[in-house]
Amino acid sequence: MTAILSIAIVVVLTTSVLLTIRWGNVVCTGSMPVSLFTFIAILFTSGLDVGLIMFPLVDFKVYATERPYSFANPLAIEFGFWGFLVWAFYFLTTFYFCIVEPKLKLFEIPAVSFVNNVVVIATCAFTAYLLLIYLPDYIQGISDPARFGLVGAVILCASLSSTDIRYVKALSVASIWLFFTLIAAIWLISGMGLSGLASSMAGIASYFANIHHFVTPITDYHQFYLYWWFAWSIMIGQFVSRFVGGLTARQLLAALLIVPSIPIAIWFSVLYFYFSNDIEIQSHWRWAMVTVGIVFVVNSLDSLIRLYTHNIEFTVTKFGAAQYVAGNWAMLATLVLLFQFTPLKIEWIGLVVVGLYSAIYFLLIKRRRELQ
């Protein structure tokens, strides 16, 4: 699996570079174009989930003690797992669904459509599953019934939000401002000030000095992250491509690599200050982090629900709001339980997506004349 993943990443990154060289001035416009800020908000909150909020404090401990990560500091490692280079996955798929798919309609081929929808639904459920397994790290003593009940409520909220695209847009913008507020609050109570933040952020330079290490899996845990990014990439490209508002391919690549990485870098730097100075985040602030994380999960889920229900024509218009919400809740809740109680892993979903990439590349080569 490692060799397959490594080859796939090199192909994706190489393709992204070649696209910007050859078709960098091609203008990408979606079917529902929005402002750049709204586009980034939708991309950021749809393309990330609770892991952004809840993983770092747990991950820093791993990166600080395990030898394979010793080439850089824990902050640089965490940033490498979440920021900059990996967003090229989203660039490639967003470009494809803006420029190529409207001409070739490869995702309307029954076999491709079926695999794509299975991937979207399974990855959607995995997002809720992550919330389920990480809640005990942030809410001490939470009972299993409370955990499962909370995740069930989150899935219900996302199903309701997905009934209208206006809710998805509004929640995305609200989520990004809520995230900025959380960053500011956790930074202010730390006492680190601007100089402390700048000193902490300086550690991210180690990522760029060692960026080549992040192209292929460093460890099994890094491999999990990369397969996770692959699992997300096609479906996020499908969803956010409709909101691109007239950016050239070069501008789109720059926007995706740089803009989302800035708040990620600031957030991780604030948390790293707590970690490196052995400062405990008080329980009420952990609750605030959980709250923002839950909002991110709702935002991710409603985007993905909106995507796959459109693909399989399971819509509010066709079936009514009650059946739509109940059907999505039942399906996603069942899949969450499968992730919890069976060997089902996100790496398997990511491997399927790598296969789907291969099929699309093959079809593109076969039908390349139709793009001229």
- Residue 47 has a pLDDT of 67
Q: What is the pLDDT of residues 245-279, one digit of tens each?
A: 889 999 999 989 998 899 999 999 999 999 999 99
**Helix (DSSP H) and strand (DSSP E) numbers for the chain:** 19, 2
Answer whether residue 338 shows pLDDT above 80. yes
- Measured CA to CA, the distance from residue 214 to residue 85 in angstroms comes to 8
- Residue 4 has a pLDDT of 92
Q: Give the gyration radius of the chain's Cα atoms.
A: 20
Residue 140: phi and psi, rounded to 5, are -65, 135
The token duo for 335 is: 């899949």
Tokens 């609050």 locate to: 185
Q: What is the pLDDT of residues 175-189, one digit of tens each?
A: 888 899 999 999 999
Mean pLDDT of all residues in 206-222: 95
High-pLDDT (> 90) share of the chain, %: 56
Q: List, in order of start, the domains of the chain with CATH numbers.
A: 2-371 (1.20.1740)
Query: pLDDT category, 283, cuts 50, 70, 90?
Result: confident
- Measured CA to CA, the distance from residue 220 to residue 200 in angstroms comes to 27
Average pLDDT over all residues of the chain: 90
Q: Which of 220, 218, 241, 162 is nearest to 346 (CA)?
A: 220
